[in-house]
Amino acid sequence: MRNRIPPQTTPRDGGISHPVSERRHRRVVARLLSALVAAVLTAATATPAQAVYNGSRADSDDYAWAVKVQLAYPEGIASCTGSLIKKDTVVTAAHCISNNGRSPSAIDVTFHFGQKRSAYTVGVASAVASPHYNPALIKDDIALLFLQSAVSEPTIELASTPAPVGAEVTVAGYGCTGDPFNAAEPCDPARRLMETQLTAVPAESCPDIAGPWQFCTFSPHTTANRGDSGGPVIWSDHGEQKLVGVTNAIELPPSPAYLNLSASVPYELDWIKATAGLR
């Protein structure tokens, strides 16, 4: 059975609501949607992600292209993570911009979140999810955000080949920092970008992987969390840091801790380039 980690949201009344499982399948999958806020906006099997659990603070200079994504829904502000791939384009998860078939009324992205002197926010002019996005299968769970104005931050290069089984990858995000397997533990949103290392494992290790549009990573003690949805999965390809995946969900019990599901950037590469106008 799979339980998506829903987006974390800050309710309009200032209270905190908690994520709910979105849909039942073989396992519980939690989609990793929101990192700053703590309310559930969706209801399917994979739930959006919280912030990195058992991670460490990321070096801001290494992640100048990483953004915190904030989305205005009627229930409150949901948050995700994203990556700048072009001076005016951010890649994130499709479930961040489509909650039970609804779209947010406004989207903003913040660069250098948590750094008072350098943080700034840019509005999103438009957002588009993969035309093949299927929330039930967590299929093609990837989207592009087109900024209202271009920025001068560096971009992250897109990987054209998947990370091999056994490769170490890095995930980063602005989500909750508590254990996603402990429902009683409150969400403590990351005040700065967090990162951790996972290992690429065979697809069959994740019971809810349904096709080549996803890949599976594992760690016995650390994982992505609510609010990390849409965040980067980075692989060092011959010494070059490349965006190989976009955080989507985690397998919840009875799966072994901690299995993460990510959208495959190499699989989505043609669509990303064509839609973003990249060569």
Please give the Cα distance from 123 to 130 (Å, whole number).
Answer: 21
252: left (phi over 0), alpha (psi -120 to 50) or beta: beta
The pair of structure tokens assigned to 276 is 């973003």
By C-alpha distance, which of 104, 113, 102, 93 is closest to 250? Answer: 93
Judging by beta carbons within 10 Å of its beta carbon (0-12, 13-18, 19+), is residue 177 exposed, middle or buried?
A: buried
Kindly report the number of other CB atoms within 10 A of residue 31's CB atom: 36
pLDDT of 176 higher than 60: yes
Span of 75-89, 118-132, 254-268 with lowest mean pLDDT: 254-268
Question: In the predicted model, is pLDDT for residue 37 greater than 60?
Answer: no
Highest mean pLDDT among 30-44, 154-168, 169-183, 196-210: 154-168
Pair 141, 94: CB distance under 8 Å: yes
Residues forming a β-bridge with 82: 67
- Over residues 86-127, the pLDDT tens digits come to 999 999 999 999 987 889 999 999 999 988 889 999 999 999
Fold for 1-279, please state it.
Thrombin, subunit H (2.40.10)
Q: What is the pTM of this model?
A: 0.84
pLDDT tens column, 181-205: 776 677 777 788 999 999 999 999 9
In this prediction, residue 175 carries a pLDDT of 86
Sorting pLDDT into bands at 50, 70 and 90, what band is 29?
low
